Amino acid sequence: RKEVEQDPGPFNVPEGATVAFNCTYSNSASQSFFWYRQDCRKEPKLLMSVYSSGNEDGRFTAQLNRASQYISLLIRDSKLSDSATYLCVVNSEGSTLGRLYFGRGTQLTVWP
């Protein structure tokens, strides 16, 4: 089983729509959780860190459910500029300390 699993999409939504991405992780000892976005042929850029039960940053809301080992990202009022691949990322401690585990990414296209 992969450490981090995401629905690959693609998600194609109109501007203004609300879209949600889901992610599950396999290591119950995971401590830190992130959402990164990656534009085509570019490096991943941090979108949000998720450290507790969830947090909000403008139009973006991330939720964490440790019991279900599940993370979500909600994007409200989608903009054309939100088109990208969204990567669910998990860090762990112990022997895998320092290593980030990336999901394969969920592709989002926002159309006018």
| Least distance to another protein, CB of residue 94, Å | 10
Closest CA to 35 of 105, 108, 97: 105
Among 7, 60, 100, 109, binds another protein (CB under 8 A): 100
Q: Does residue 25 touch another protein according to CB under 8 A? A: no
Q: Does residue 60 touch another protein according to CB under 8 A? A: no
Residues near another protein (CB under 8 A) are 32, 34, 42-46, 49, 51, 87, 91, 95-105
